[in-house]
Amino acid sequence: MRVLVTGVAGFIGSHVAELLVADGHDVLGVDDLSGGFLENVTQGVLFKQASVTDDLGQMFGDFRPQIVFHLAAYAAEGLSHHIPRFNYENNIVGTVNVLSEAYRIGCEHFVFTSSIAAYGHPTSETPFDETTPCVPCDPYGTAKLACEYHIKSVAEYYGGPAYTIFRPHNVFGTRQNISDPYRNVVGIFMARALHDQPLPIFGDGSQTRSFSHIGAVARAIASAPWVPAAQNETFNIGGDESMSVRELAENVSREFGVTPKLEFMPPRNEVQHAHCNHVLARSVFADAYTQAVDIRSGLREMAEYVRSHPVPPATECPAPIEISDRLPPSWAKRL
């Protein structure tokens, strides 16, 4: 089938495109290279450099994808407080633009990566499931939830395209950008540990996440259009294993053979404990989870990749700071 993947030079997008090519699909990959890298684009993908906010009409009209995977986004949750306009333009307007073109050329299925950020702060110790009310607490989560509503409303109003929405969380693995100082804590820690530098931690590091290896996440996303039970559904996707940020820093240091050097900074206003229930995803995408990788094995794999690949130049903030109040001091120094 003809498949279009946005964000194809990025982390999740490159892994999904690789799986699609291996399955024999014709893949057109789109990326503006603001946070991704050409070397991530797997052989066999027809690559076009473009932003999701560009006029994409001719590209869609020429290729006429049957399936669209919209994985492009600027996913810096904390920074979104300080660049809200850019956040909404890149995430909401970009999604509206891609979906409109997909509808106009008769796309059959639209796959979208939302985020655990759509849930906001937990109100109990129970992990989020797909029935948990969404009350996002930052512009990034707000944008992702708005995109979800828009995708559903288009399908309801026009009768298509069918959709599958995923809410991944704290995904890590090979090809992740380790040079972005504002997002991807695993990548930030590995970039520092590689050079035996202090690992920055906001607060005391007791905040916990279920860090999720890319393997099962990418396999589930790539298979969604061909899984009947995934049609017009929303899924939490990721791992179940909990780890504190401090424990993560210590494990990353161990993989690089260095003594942990932890740099504690003022806490951010962030969710303290964020975890998801994956019962639904494990049921519908059982095959994707059969080879699930635990956090420590995933960190070892990613560390080996980082050691064997050049560290790219720093990926700086993609837009001027719009609101500087409460900007973390470590970020303010860069900006």
Q: What is the mean pLDDT of residues 204-222?
A: 96
Among residues 93, 91, 70, 71, the alpha carbon closest in space to that of 80 is found at 91
Domains of the chain: 2-177+211-240+275-293 (3.40.50.720)
Question: Is it the case that residue 221 has pLDDT exceeding 90?
Answer: yes
Close Cβ partners of 187 (under 8 Å, ≥ 6 residues apart)? 172, 176, 177, 178, 179, 180
Task: Compute how many other C-beta atoms are within 10 angstroms of the C-beta atom of residue 62.
Answer: 10
Count of CB atoms situated within 10 Å of the CB of 104: 11
Q: Over the stretch 66-103, which tens digit does the pLDDT of each residue have? A: 999 999 999 889 999 999 999 999 999 999 999 999 99
Residue with the two structure tokens 């850019």: 86
The mean per-residue pLDDT over the stretch 298-308 comes to: 97
| pLDDT confidence of residue 271 | 86
- Asked if the peptide bond before residue 267 counts as cis, ω within 30 degrees of 0, the response is no
Minimum mean pLDDT range among 3-12, 129-138, 276-285, 311-320: 311-320
pLDDT given at position 139: 97
Tell me the average pLDDT across 13-25: 98
CB atoms within 10 A of CB 113: 26
Question: Is the confidence at residue 278, as pLDDT, over 90?
Answer: yes
Question: What span, in angstroms and rounded, lies between the C-alpha atoms of 304 and 311?
Answer: 13
Residue 49 confidence (pLDDT):
98
Active site residues: 140
pLDDT, tens digit, for every residue of 102-139? 999 999 999 999 999 999 999 988 999 999 999 999 99
pTM (2 d.p.)? 0.96
Write down the mean pLDDT value for the chain: 96
**Would you state the pLDDT for residue 114?**
98
Helix axes 295-307, 245-255, angle to 10 degrees: 50
Residues in contact with 172: Cβ distance below 8 Å, sequence separation at least 6, in sequence order: 184, 186, 187, 211, 212, 213, 214, 298, 299, 302
Q: What is the mean pLDDT of residues 284-304?
A: 94
pLDDT tens sequence across 153-163? 999 999 999 99
pLDDT band at 270 (very low <50, low <70, confident <90, very high): confident
Q: Is 276 helix (H, G, I), strand (E, B) or coil?
A: strand
H or E element at residue 200 = strand 199-202
pLDDT value, residue 330: 86
Nearest residue to 91 via CA among 55, 51, 149, 144: 144
Residue 269 predicted with pLDDT over 90: no
Residue in the structure block whose two tokens are 């309801």: 156
SS3 143: helix
Among left, alpha and beta (phi > 0; psi -120 to 50; other), residue 33 is left
Is 40 within 8 Å of 10 (Cβ atoms)? Answer: yes
In the chain, % of residues over pLDDT 90? 91
**For residues 257-276, average pLDDT:** 91
| CA 205 to centroid of chain Cα atoms | 22
Tell me the average pLDDT across 184-212.
95
The predicted structure's pLDDT at residue 19: 98
> What pLDDT, on a 0 to 100 scale, did the predictor assign at position 268?
83
Percent of the chain at pLDDT exceeding 70:
100
Q: What is the pLDDT of residue 333?
A: 86
